[in-house]
Structure formats: structure tokens, C-alpha cells
């Protein structure tokens, strides 16, 4: 078996794959290997995940240009799997990709997004910079110095909205009480005119997507009033009254939107966490996101990951497939079950899940006694998707019944499908660009951006940058998510900076030349005047006082 690192392309574009392979070989001199895999049906595409795990690539390129929804689902599975978090993931689009798919590709957890085209330099440059830095070289493109403030956006996923609140998931650290600006579809539609929100809660529990934080926030509906120097108390009072009236109207419009969209709201109440190295749920099964239950699969959990995974998923059912002794550590064995139970019992009792243990010779009663946990069922056979789906259905009905009894209805809440354009939001922050080329840039910011953060810009050029660490509030970014038209636009913009500097220099020199000419002219006038005065004095003529 070759010990060369693998770059895996998942797609059917043979010409593009060959172009990538050729360009990488120029840089890496045969130091990496390449493989292409592709399927064209829903179940088979999901099953490609099993190949990904087996091949252990250092970089995965997922082509979304054909069957985008199926391959976006595969990308989400890759992003959610703990053992693949260190792998560089790259999404590929074509110039016919819709804006909705572009936005969704950015929030799947892919670390880079590139548009396919005849030139593959940018994607190869970025990947080399991140996974083969010793092979990376300077790009050679012109880099302009500037000092411009641009508005950046960190894309996030909105899970649900209520009459006055929004709930979203993000990797951007926030604190309760923080004020921020969130671009969202209701602002674009003028239903909620303001982007201003206030964070009310931040937690790392009960997450649906691959993000780290779950955030609750209140809409401000109308921008807060900022007094100016000429404002009187009477003026401010009138403006506040106007603002309150506008808030009332906006809340009314948003309530109507919630009522109109209530029928499309889909909450996945029952949640199943599966610990299974064989990934039975991905073996020629229906797409896991098409069940009415939330299903999350991990091959194993390190001791340090157990509590975190329980908080993230908050499952009602946990399924564990026990493994034979020859399976490399870490593995699911009785010691793992004991540690799992320790973490479970640390949770509030009402959140204790039902445990199903497959591939074990221990009967349910014996397992319950040894683990000192009543809600355990064992099975000697391999993990069964059918059994787990039946259990999820039972828990779903139970949870719905509990909700009816406690009258905790979510009639004022709309859960958004991940394919809904309203499910994508954008946390807005200003940054100051200091250097810019058509491939990378540098910027300053008082905000701490974690390495790997993707910042999206809409102006002056629509593009995304992958943030790499800098120092003293300075950052370096790789530019990606540029189509051919945007690439040309960026190139023109960089060139315009040079011409702008040149024109400013020429203009400055012209101003200096004009000033010098004016000074010389005035000096000459003064000299001529003085000469006339001296000549008049010599002739005994009176000197004019003008």
C-alpha cells in the first residue's frame, strides 16, 4: 500500500480531475496520489461515505455541479464525523450553480469552495497552502497596498424563528447580551427592516448542524436611534414614538409570516445517536436526512468526546455496536459502555436516553444490572436500522404526547428546512483590507477570527476568504468562491488600485507644479513692480500708491 497522502475527488468530471492531478504533480513532484469516485443514485451516493472513511484522504473535493442535493448531504456527513475533522474539505461548483446552492455549499462545513473552470491554479494553490505548505510558493500575482473598510459576513444556519426571536448555529463565539448585525431574509423582504439583534443565550447543546454554538437572539425590528449633536429631548422623544410604531407594524407583519409558514414547519423531535464503525445507516439506506427523526452516526467516541457528543446531539436513543477485540483502539466495548453511562448519568434525569447495545452475548437483564441502568436493551445480532427506526418512532409519539399534556405548543415557532433560503443568515462585521491580490489578501480587525473561518464579501467583489492566523489583529486570507466573471472583476479592481495610486501621484505632482508656477508668477510680478518703482524714483516721478 502506498504511503503517499491521498487527494480524493468525488465527482464525475474526468477532464477536471485530470487537470487537477496534472497541476498537483507539477507542484508536489509525485508526492501525492489521486483517486476519483462517483455514484449517481441517492443511496449509492450516501454509501460513498464508507469509501471515504476507508481511503483516509488528507483532502476531499466534493463536486456539487451534478446532483447537488445528494452531494451536499454527503458533504454534511463528512463535516459531522469526528474522525474527519482534520481533513481539508473542498466544495466544487460550476458557473450554472444557483445562489441558493452556493450559500448552502458554504454552510455544509466545507473549508473551501471553488468554481470549476479551465484554470485550476487557484484551487491547487489553496490546497497546497493548507496541506502541503512545504511545497507552496508565492503566487506571483500583483499585490496592491490599500486601506479600505469592507463589510464581511460569517454565514450561519437559522434553525427556527419565533414571534420576536431567531435561533441559529455558528462557529463564531458570542456572549449573551451582545449586540450584533445579522443579515437575514426577513430584512431583505422588508418584513423586519433592521439587521440589529441582541443575543439572549449561547450554548453548545442540542445542535442540529455541524456548528459549535447554538445561539438565541431577539430581533430589534427597527434600528435603534442614535442621537446626533443637534438632537433635542423633544426630537428624540418624537423619534422614539415613531420607532415604537414602526416596531409594532413590523411585529405584526412577522407574526403574519409565521402564521403563513406554520404548515411547512418541520421539527425533528426524536434524536438517535449511533456509535457504529460499520455505518449501517449509510449502507445502501435511504438518506438519513429524509427520516422524520434526527440521526447522527459516529464510528467511535474518544473518552474526551463522549460528554461533548451527548450535549451536542441530546439523543433520546443511543445505539452502540460492540466490536471484537482485534478492532484497533478506541473501540466500543464494555469499558466504553461504562464511561458512556458515567456521562449519561451526569445529565439531568429527564434527559437520560434509552440505550440499545448490538452484537453482544449479554442479555438485557444482565447488561442492566452491570451498568446499573434500567433503560437498556441488548441484541446479539448486528446493528439493525429497522429496530432503531421503530424505537425512534415510539419516542417521537411519546414526546409529542408529553408536549400535548404539558400544553407546550410550538404554534408560534417555525422550523426551517435546510433547503429554505431563510435558513441561511450572515453575521456582519467590518474589516480593514490592507493588501489585495487576485488570490489572497491581508486585513486588520479588532474582532478575533479563528483560523479556518470563512468570511464572505458582497462588495466591492463577491467572494469568500479562508482566514489564516496573523499577529496583532492582522490576518491573512485565501480568496475562494469566485466565478470566472468575479475573478475578472477582482483582477480589474486590483489593477485599479495601482492606477488609483498612480493617478493620485500624477495629480499630486500636477498640483505641486501648478503651485510652483503660481509662486514663480507672483515672484515675477513682484520683481516687475519693484523694477518700475525704482525706475520712477530715478526719473523723479511720483510713485503710485496702488
**What secondary structure does DSSP assign to 47-102, as a single string?**
HHHHHHHHH--SEEEEE-SSSHHHHHHHHHHHHH-GGGTTSEEEEEE-TT--HHHH
Between CA 356 and CA 365, with CA 359 as vertex, the angle to 5 degrees is 55
What are the DSSP calls for 421-453, one per residue?
GGGEEEEEEEEEEEEE-SSEEEEE-SS-PPTT-
| Residue 102 in domain | yes
What is the C-alpha separation between 147 and 381, in angstroms, rounded? 65
Q: Are 179 and 275 members of one domain? A: no
- From 352, 375, 405, the end of a domain falls on 405
Indicate if 116 and 192 belong to the same structural domain.
no
Is 522 contained in some domain? no
At residue 321, the pLDDT reads 94
Residues 277 and 248 in one domain: no
113 in the same domain as 32:
yes
Residue with cell 427506526: 389
Kindly report the three-state secondary structure assignment for every residue of 131-163: HCHHHCCCCCCCCEEEEEEEEEEEEEEEEEECC
Residues 249 and 215 in one domain: yes
Identify whether residues 111 and 170 lie together within a single domain.
no
Which residue is it, cell 454552510?
Answer: 107
Of the residues 364, 394, 423, the one at which a domain ends: 423
Closest CA to 81 of 268, 214, 213, 273: 273
What pLDDT is recorded for position 402? 76
Examine residue 165 and state whether it is found in any structural domain, yes or no.
yes
The C-alpha cell of 440 is what? 489572497
Separation CA 508–CA 503 (nearest Å): 8
**In-domain check, residue 400:** yes
Instruction: State whether 397 and 350 are in the same domain.
Output: yes
**In this structure, is residue 93 part of a structural domain?**
yes
What is the domain range of residue 191?
A: 156-266+414-423
Distance (Å, whole) CA 180 – CA 430: 11
On whether residue 107 sits in a domain, the answer given is yes
Per-residue tens of pLDDT for the chain, all 546 residues? 467 899 999 999 999 999 999 998 888 777 889 999 999 999 999 999 999 999 999 999 999 999 999 999 999 999 999 999 999 999 999 989 998 899 999 999 999 999 999 889 999 999 999 998 888 878 889 999 999 999 999 999 999 999 999 999 999 999 999 999 999 999 999 999 999 999 999 999 999 999 999 999 999 999 999 888 777 888 899 999 999 999 999 999 999 999 999 998 988 989 999 999 999 999 999 999 999 999 999 999 999 899 999 999 999 999 999 987 767 777 778 899 999 999 999 999 999 999 999 999 999 999 999 999 999 999 999 999 999 999 989 888 888 887 766 555 556 899 999 999 999 999 999 999 999 999 999 999 999 999 999 999 999 999 999 999 877 789 999 999 999 999 999 999 999 998 875 665 655 655 665 666 667 666 666 776 776 666 666 666 555 544
Q: How far apart are CA 62 and CA 101, in angstroms?
A: 13
**Same domain for 190 and 86:** no
| In a domain? residue 449 | no
Q: How many domains does the chain have?
A: 3
Cis peptide before 460 (omega within 30 of 0): yes
Residue 510: predicted pLDDT: 53
CATH number, domain containing residue 3? 3.40.50.2300
| Coarse DSSP helix, strand, coil percentages of the chain, rounded to the nearest 5 percent | 40, 25, 35
Angstrom distance (rounded) from CA 391 to CA 385: 10
Residue 525 within a domain: no
Confidence at residue 1, expressed as pLDDT on a 0 to 100 scale: 46
C-alpha 404/C-alpha 385 separation (Å) is 29
19 and 124 part of one domain: yes
Give the other-Cβ count within 10 Å of 18's Cβ.
14
Cell of 403: 408536549
Distance CA 270, CA 36 (A): 37
User: Do 6 and 133 share a structural domain?
Assistant: yes
From 374, 392, 423, the end of a domain falls on 423
CA–CA–CA angle 480, 486, 488 (5° rounding):
110
* Residues β-bridged to residue 464: 456, 480
Shared domain for 78 and 131, answered yes or no, is yes
In this structure, the answer to whether residues 258 and 308 fall within a common structural domain is: no
Amino acid at each position: 500500500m502506498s504511503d503517499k497522502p491521498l487527494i480524493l475527488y468525488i465527482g464525475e468530471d474526468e477532464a477536471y480531475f485530470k487537470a487537477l492531478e496534472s497541476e498537483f504533480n507539477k507542484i508536489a513532484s509525485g508526492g501525492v496520489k489521486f483517486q476519483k469516485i462517483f455514484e449517481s443514485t441517492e443511496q449509492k451516493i450516501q454509501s460513498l461515505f464508507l469509501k471515504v472513511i476507508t481511503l483516509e484522504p488528507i483532502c476531499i473535493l466534493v463536486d456539487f455541479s451534478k446532483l447537488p442535493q445528494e452531494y451536499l448531504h454527503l458533504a454534511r456527513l463528512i463535516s459531522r464525523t469526528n474522525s474527519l475533522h482534520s481533513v481539508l474539505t473542498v466544495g466544487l461548483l460550476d458557473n450554472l450553480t444557483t445562489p441558493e446552492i452556493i450559500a448552502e455549499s458554504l454552510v455544509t462545513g466545507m473549508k473551501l469552495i471553488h468554481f470549476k473552470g479551465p484554470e485550476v491554479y487557484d484551487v491547487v494553490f489553496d490546497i497546497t497552502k493548507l496541506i502541503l505548505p512545504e511545497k507552496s510558493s508565492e503566487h506571483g500575482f500583483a499585490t496592491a497596498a490599500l486601506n479600505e473598510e469592507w463589510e464581511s459576513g460569517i454565514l450561519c444556519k437559522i434553525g427556527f424563528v419565533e414571534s420576536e426571536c431567531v435561533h441559529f448555529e455558528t462557529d463564531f463565539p458570542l456572549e449573551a447580551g451582545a449586540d450584533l448585525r445579522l443579515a437575514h431574509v426577513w430584512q431583505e423582504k422588508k418584513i423586519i427592516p433592521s439587521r440589529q439583534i441582541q443575543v439572549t443565550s449561547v450554548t453548545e447543546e442540542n445542535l442540529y448542524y455541524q456548528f459549535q454554538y447554538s445561539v438565541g437572539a431577539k430581533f430589534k425590528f427597527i434600528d435603534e436611534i442614535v442621537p446626533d449633536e443637534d438632537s433635542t429631548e423633544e426630537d428624540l422623544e418624537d423619534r422614539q414614538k415613531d420607532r415604537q410604531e414602526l416596531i409594532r407594524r413590523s411585529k405584526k407583519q412577522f407574526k403574519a409570516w409565521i402564521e403563513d409558514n406554520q404548515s411547512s414547519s418541520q421539527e425533528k423531535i426524536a434524536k438517535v445517536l449511533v456509535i457504529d464503525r460499520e455505518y449501517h445507516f449509510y449502507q445502501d439506506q435511504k438518506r438519513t436526512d429524509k427520516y422524520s427523526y434526527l440521526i447522527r452516526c459516529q464510528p467511535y467516541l474518544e473518552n474526551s468526546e463522549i460528554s461533548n457528543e451527548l450535549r451536542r446531539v441530546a439523543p433520546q436513543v443511543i445505539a452502540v455496536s460492540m466490536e471484537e477485540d482485534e478492532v484497533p483502539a478506541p473501540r466500543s466495548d464494555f469499558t466504553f459502555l461504562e464511561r458512556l453511562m458515567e456521562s449519561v448519568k451526569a445529565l439531568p434525569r429527564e434527559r437520560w436516553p434509552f440505550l440499545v447495545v448490538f452484537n453482544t452475548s449479554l442479555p438485557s437483564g444482565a447488561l442492566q444490572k452491570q451498568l446499573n441502568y434500567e433503560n437498556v436493551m441488548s441484541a446479539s445480532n448486528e446493528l439493525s436500522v429497522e429496530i432503531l427506526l421503530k424505537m425512534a418512532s415510539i419516542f417521537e409519539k411519546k414526546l409529542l404526547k408529553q408536549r400535548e399534556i404539558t400544553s407546550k405548543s410550538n404554534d408560534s415557532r417555525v422550523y426551517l428546512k435546510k433547503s429554505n433560503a431563510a435558513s441561511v443568515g450572515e453575521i456582519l462585521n467590518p474589516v480593514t483590507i490592507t493588501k489585495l491580490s487576485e488570490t489572497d489578501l491581508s486585513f486588520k480587525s479588532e474582532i478575533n477570527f479563528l483560523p479556518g473561518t470563512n468570511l464572505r464579501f458582497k462588495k466591492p467583489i463577491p467572494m469568500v476568504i479562508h482566514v489564516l492566523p496573523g499577529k496583532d489583529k492582522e490576518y491573512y486570507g485565501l480568496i475562494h468562491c469566485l466565478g470566472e466573471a468575479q475573478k475578472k472583476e477582482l483582477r480589474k479592481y486590483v489593477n485599479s488600485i495601482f492606477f488609483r495610486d498612480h493617478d493620485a501621484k500624477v495629480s499630486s505632482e500636477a498640483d505641486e507644479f501648478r503651485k510652483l508656477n503660481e509662486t514663480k508668477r507672483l515672484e515675477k510680478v513682484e520683481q516687475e513692480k519693484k523694477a518700475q518703482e525704482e525706475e520712477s524714483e530715478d526719473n523723479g516721478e511720483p510713485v503710485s500708491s496702488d
